[in-house]
Amino acid sequence: MNIEDKKVWYPYQQMKLDKRIYKVLEGKGPYLKIENLEKNEIKDLLDGVSSWWCAVHGYGNEELNNAIKEQVDKIAHVMLGGLSHSPVEKLAEKLVEITPDGLNHVFFSDSGSVGVEVAIKMAIQYFSNQNLKNKKKIIGLTNAYHGDTFKAMEIGDEPDFHGAFKHTFKDTFHIDPPKGGFNSSDEEINVALSILEDLLISEADNIAAFIVEPLIQASGGFIVYSPKYLEKARELCDRYNILFIFDEVATGFGRTGKFFATNYTNIIPDILILGKALTGGYLGHSATITTTKVFKGFWSDSYEHAFMHGPTFMGNPLACAVSLKSIEIFQRDNYLDKIEKINSILKNELLEFKHELVKETRVFGVTGVIEVKDSKILKEFQKYAYEHGAYIRPFGSYLYIMPSYILDEVEVKKLCTIMKNYILEYLNVK
Ligand code: PMP
């Protein structure tokens, strides 16, 4: 193929090496119907990654389809400039109802990354509106991922993704989360907190916010850490007058086992960001939700203090209608029970799995990971998964699944078996 013929520029891909052979024809439930261009065959594959973790109901859910069809006959899109509409008002109300008490005001955007940008802009302007213009730096965690737009890259810590831009980054500090996983010891938590406090002692006058992916750093390697750290960090953020931001783009809507990762703690962040599963994985959309304290920071008789941001597609009626239906299904069909069941199967299947090629296995909510010692081991995995009827896409040294919540026991076990058998058969397959 000539370089000119490569019309689609695919994500995270060295296009020169791209040999894309899977073409999705349709999706039904947890299955993707895939045409394999190399083998000239069509196959239904059980999807283990739910389209970067957003398709929590699987594909082609009839109720979600109908929510969009009904809305499209009314209006597909209209700007929120000077106008409002029912789906956006209802969704804002619903999000305020289901997120922890105190988060009251919702700003919509069209992707997780932009939702993060919005949160950072809000934090910086919150202080500049008080004439605290030095408070503009941000603290992030090492190994964090918050998206691919500029400030989101900068507050993240992903050399593999964003190394090409590192020389443009400034105004950000990175600190380690506590070691020890979900149940860190007090000592491990104190070590991490003292790093945070030392930074705040010297720099708080220049810092606007501390942003975290609460409890699990997903793209950074599925690193789980303690809710107690977040509770104590909340106290430090208050003491040193900086805002605390939770990026729940990946963790929101059940992925960690509770509705939101925030629900594992007794605190609320000043700003919470939701995306991905917000629309049930149907359309790009995100919600940046703030406390009234933050909202009040913009409340004035002057436009100078207003939040001057407005993505064209914010509050898109189709996205809002499908989000409302997705949340309705989530609550009505007791998704948290489904999630708990999947979690216990994942634990049984993966946590005891030991092998000389495996560094560690981790399970948190509906996320199961086999971390291997050398990423090269996973090179042939995708083909192997295809042959065994699944679509699973590892990255780095992480062989992971983050499937939809509609899988039955057999399907969850099938995904785990494929992962484990690949490792067990590795020396033969190679
Ligand atoms: N924050 C987190 C924690 C994420 O995992 C992601 C996406 N993987 C984003 C932000 C960015 O979301 P989007 O891809 O919708 O821009």
Q: Encode pLDDT of 290-306 as tens digits.
A: 999 999 999 999 999 99
Consecutive H or E run containing 423: helix 409-429
In the structure, which protein residues have their CB atom closer than 6 angstroms to any atom of ligand 1?
A: 52, 111-113, 116, 145-147, 213, 218-219, 247, 249-250, 275
CATH number at residue 421: 3.90.1150.10
Please check whether residues 374 and 227 belong to one and the same domain: no
Token pair listed for 137: 């730096």
The DSSP output letter for 29 is B
pLDDT of amino acid 429: 59
- In the reported structure, the alpha carbon of residue 2 is separated from the centroid of ligand 1 by a whole-number distance in angstroms of 33
Ligand 1 closest atom vs CA 276? 15
- In the reported structure, the alpha carbon of residue 10 is separated from the centroid of ligand 1 by a whole-number distance in angstroms of 17
Atom 7, ligand 1: residue with shortest CA distance: 147
- In the reported structure, the alpha carbon of residue 146 is separated from the centroid of ligand 1 by a whole-number distance in angstroms of 6
Q: In the beta sheet, which residues pair with residue 290?
A: 105, 271
Consecutive H or E run containing 406: none
Please check whether residues 328 and 361 belong to one and the same domain: no
Please check whether residues 201 and 243 belong to one and the same domain: yes
pLDDT of amino acid 161: 87
pLDDT tens digits, one per residue of 230-275? 999 999 999 999 999 999 999 999 999 999 999 999 999 999 999 9
Enclosing domain of residue 159 = 65-332
Please check whether residues 130 and 227 belong to one and the same domain: yes
Which residues are marked as active site? Answer: 12, 145, 247, 276
* 407 assigned to some structural domain: yes
3-state percent helix, strand, coil for the chain, nearest multiple of 5: 45, 20, 40
- From 332, 365, 392, give the residue that closes a domain: 332
Q: Which segments of the chain have a pLDDT < 50? A: none
Distance CA(288)–CA(152), nearest Å, equals 14
Distance CA(85)–CA(92), nearest Å, equals 11
Mutate to test the pocket of ligand 1, among 110, 113, 149 (most ligand atoms within 8 A of CB): 113
* 56 assigned to some structural domain: no
Please check whether residues 83 and 131 belong to one and the same domain: yes
Mutate to test the pocket of ligand 1, among 151, 158, 249, 285 (most ligand atoms within 8 A of CB): 249
